[in-house]
Amino acid sequence: MHDQFETIGKSVHRKEGIPKVTGRAIYADDMRFDGCLYGRTVRSTVPHGTIKEIRFNPGFPWTEFTIVLPEDIPGKNGVTLIDSEQPFLVYREIQHLAEPIALIAHADRELLEKALYQIEVDVDELPAVFTMDAALERNDIFKSYLIEGDNVSDNWLDADVIIEETYGTGAQEHLYIEPQAVIATAIPGESVTIWGSMQCPFYVQKAVAPLFNLPRERIRVVQTETGGGFGGKEEYPNLIAGHAALLAWKSGRPVKMIYGRREDMWATTKRHPSRTHIKAGFKRDGTLVALDIDLVLDGGAYPTLSSVVLSRATLHAWGPYRCNCTRIRSRVVKTNSVPHGAFRGFGAPQAIFAIEMHMNRAAEALGMDPAEIRRRNFLRKGDRMPTGQVVKDELDLGCLMDRALELSNYRHKRSQYEQANRDRGQKRKGIGLSVFFHGSGFTGGGEVHLASEISLRLTEQGGVEVLAANVEYGQGTNTVFAQIVAEACKISPDLVRIHQPDTATVPDSGPTVASRTTMIVGKLIERAALELRHRLNKPEDFRSAASQYLRQHGTLVVSVRYEPPPDIYWDETTYRGDAYAAYSWSCDVAEVEVNLTDYGARVTNFVSTVECGRVLNPALAAAQIEGGIAQGIGFALYEDVVLERGAMKNNQFTNYIIPTTADTPDIHVEFVEFPYNNPGPYAAKGIGEMPIDGPAPAIASAVAHALGGRFINEVPLLPERIMRNIELGSDPLLYQSFGADPELRK
């Protein structure tokens, strides 16, 4: 079906792949600067308190060090993001453990490490809040939403069965393999330059400019090769870039700040822990008639991105189901935990876990197969979501699900495993599924506010250079951008060059987040590339036409800016309208084995069918799905962030377990394409985040199947949680900030 295209739909090889496989790619820590100092952060060791004194122990060679305290900050001591509540350095009140208090720099890393133990911070400790319940009691709410469908109250009377449950998900650590890393240089009083591992160079520029009271153009931010991010390098680099820049400003020398792994895991953001209460009414035939959802997220100590994470959670809470009687209330609360932040999925995995588990519960209660109760309620063309958004295109989720059931041999295995489990062996098998969607791009009017812009420029080789702020961090931006240009200009992708994201030379095409890069920015690139070809009079031989044009005119640059699709409307105040311009859809089927000797569960096979519009690069897209599923397996089974007084206690690879090669099953991905009027380039939609949404409920329902219908409402499904369920025969949900109180872990 891709025959109409030369490059689109082909698995073009990763553009920066050769430097990566040969070790030549340059990451932040690989850069060298003459006279470079290393920077470290002095952090709070209490979760809440006021600082009385910072003491530098005498007898230590402090004069050799550069030291930055809040009073050294030349401008605003607040990290500008949505608000600027979070300080670069605590100046009034410590709000969480590991909060930055002071900065030190020295050329000798070992001496620097020793110096951290020679600084004492005297604090008057204050009572701290670690649980969502305590925060709700205090009414410490950063943000709340309420969405009510067309018909909120009447339908409950039509329900034959009403099911009510509470679900919980834990924090999750990104665990990008390259830790946070930036390098800063400064000309004090004049300008700052930052190189670093990041997703959003213009966010860093926007955050750092007020710190120095400088206009934005005096802050240059350059993204270096980035070793994974998953959201963990969306907003956090703002803080560490500011820190390195403060040290560079004061010392007049380049300053490298590279977090060690323990510091990275202790001090940086995690996925928001969640608790979701669902009450749903069904008819005996499985029809969903009424739905009431109450979702709470733990935001941690500062608002950061929590309001938008909550927004996405809220707008995915109903799952891919039709119900005109829906009410969703959501809140994100303030606690004294390290702020929770962006993580692939951005609130959706928490909400989708709850609704998908609830559908399984309902299927069990009604004696239906989990696939069939879903089929009865799937959204179809013409249906309205609770926001009033109408499904405009044909949507056949039954087809998407059936393909996954077929590939996984679901029906046969479901009965086969049930039969085998009757033998009461030590190893029980189960199979479960989830069906879900993910909105591409920023929520609501977000893309209009961003007003992203990109440029394309003819190169001396007769090719095209892409100037955009969106970064490659493993997901394939460079390659997909090159394919889009190549297709539109009818040239080889090898002739397309991607300019390094650098705020001094590329336009602001927005952050590399929200599954927006291919769909939103890729569309800008398609438009600009078509315009470029048009300006050259649509040549058959682009290369020679480009060379000729450059000889005559010197240069050719085409810039385009985002324009909202004409039929999209969103009301931010009422939360009604088209929340996303497009949705991608998916069905996961997981098989598990639960060992009743050690209560460990493992995934033995995984199938995912995915509809994301036209697939621009099948190998890269499938790789995104496979990697997301592996993270989802971790979220479902292994990844337990033990928060002790609001900070990660198990902050090492050795005791925070992510799936290894031995834990990751064969993953089978198949794309189903419904390329209708999708707003992306060549009818593509977003893909990066969706694969993290489905594995947890699919795996948890497979575990329930293996255990003969015992549902566990909370992930990760650690052996102790499975044991407790089996031994106690019930599952009291421990939904507090996990691990905050030893009593709750009993």
- Toward another protein, which CB reaches closer, 465 or 472? 472
- Toward another protein, which CB reaches closer, 14 or 724? 14
Shortest Cβ distance from residue 180 to another protein (Å)?
A: 13
Alpha-carbon distance 622 to 480, whole Å? 13
Shortest Cβ distance from residue 260 to another protein (Å)?
A: 6
Shortest Cβ distance from residue 318 to another protein (Å)?
A: 28
- Toward another protein, which CB reaches closer, 471 or 496? 471
Of the candidates 738, 745, 735, 575, which has an alpha carbon nearest to the alpha carbon of residue 168?
A: 735
Of the candidates 351, 163, 136, 167, which has an alpha carbon nearest to the alpha carbon of residue 275?
A: 167
Angle of helix 397-408 relative to helix 370-377, nearest 10 degrees, comes to 160
Report the DSSP beta bridge partners of residue 102.
42
- 424-to-139, 428, 601, 708, 719 alpha-carbon distances in Å: 49, 8, 16, 11, 19
Shortest Cβ distance from residue 474 to another protein (Å)?
A: 3
Alpha-carbon distance 341 to 96, whole Å? 14
Residues in contact with 297: Cβ distance below 8 Å, sequence separation at least 6, in sequence order? 132, 272, 273, 274, 306, 309, 310, 313, 330, 331, 332, 333, 340, 347, 350
What residue type is 52 in one-letter code? K
Shortest Cβ distance from residue 179 to another protein (Å)?
A: 8
Residues in contact with 636: Cβ distance below 8 Å, sequence separation at least 6, in sequence order? 603, 695, 696, 699, 700, 715, 716, 717
Shortest Cβ distance from residue 677 to another protein (Å)?
A: 30
Task: Name the 3-class secondary structure at 295.
Answer: strand
Token couple for 246: 């403060």
- Toward another protein, which CB reaches closer, 260 or 382? 260
Q: What is the 3-state secondary structure (H, E, C) of 349-413?
A: HHHHHHHHHHHHHHHHHHCCCHHHHHHHHECCCCCECCCCCECCCCCCHHHHHHHHHHHHCHHHH
Shortest Cβ distance from residue 183 to another protein (Å)?
A: 14
DSSP designation for 493: G
- Toward another protein, which CB reaches closer, 178 or 465? 178
- Toward another protein, which CB reaches closer, 193 or 631? 631
- Toward another protein, which CB reaches closer, 415 or 660? 660
Shortest Cβ distance from residue 517 to another protein (Å)?
A: 15
- Toward another protein, which CB reaches closer, 473 or 481? 473
* Contact positions vs another protein (CB under 8 A): 11, 13-14, 16-27, 29-30, 32, 174-179, 225-228, 230, 260-261, 473-476, 619-620, 623, 626-631, 652-654, 658-662, 664, 666-667
Residue with tokens 């609501």: 444
- Toward another protein, which CB reaches closer, 653 or 676? 653
Shortest Cβ distance from residue 478 to another protein (Å)?
A: 12
Of the candidates 606, 607, 603, 605, which has an alpha carbon nearest to the alpha carbon of residue 402?
A: 607
What is 109-173 written as a DSSP string?
A: HHHHHHHHTTEEEEEEE-----SHHHHHHTT-EEEEEEEE-S--SGGGGG-SEEEEEEEEE----
Residues in contact with 733: Cβ distance below 8 Å, sequence separation at least 6, in sequence order? 166, 167, 168, 275, 713, 714
Shortest Cβ distance from residue 477 to another protein (Å)?
A: 11
Shortest Cβ distance from residue 201 to another protein (Å)?
A: 17
What is 427-468 written as a DSSP string?
A: EEEEEEEEEEEEEESSSTTHHHHH--EEEEEE-TTS-EEEE-
- Toward another protein, which CB reaches closer, 19 or 732? 19
Shortest Cβ distance from residue 25 to another protein (Å)?
A: 5
- Toward another protein, which CB reaches closer, 130 or 473? 473
- Toward another protein, which CB reaches closer, 54 or 111? 111
- Toward another protein, which CB reaches closer, 134 or 620? 620
Alpha-carbon radius of gyration of the chain = 26
Look at phi and psi of residue 290 and say left if phi exceeds 0, alpha if psi is from -120 to 50, else beta.
beta
DSSP designation for 57: -
Shortest Cβ distance from residue 169 to another protein (Å)?
A: 19
Task: Name the 3-class secondary structure at 275.
Answer: strand
Buried b (16+ CB within 10 A) or exposed e, 138-167: eebebbebebbbeebeebbeebeeebebeb
- 664-to-64, 483, 602, 718 alpha-carbon distances in Å: 49, 31, 9, 16
Task: Name the 3-class secondary structure at 471.
Answer: coil
- Toward another protein, which CB reaches closer, 623 or 723? 623
Shortest Cβ distance from residue 631 to another protein (Å)?
A: 7
- Toward another protein, which CB reaches closer, 175 or 385? 175
Shortest Cβ distance from residue 18 to another protein (Å)?
A: 6
CB 119 within 8 A of CB 273: no
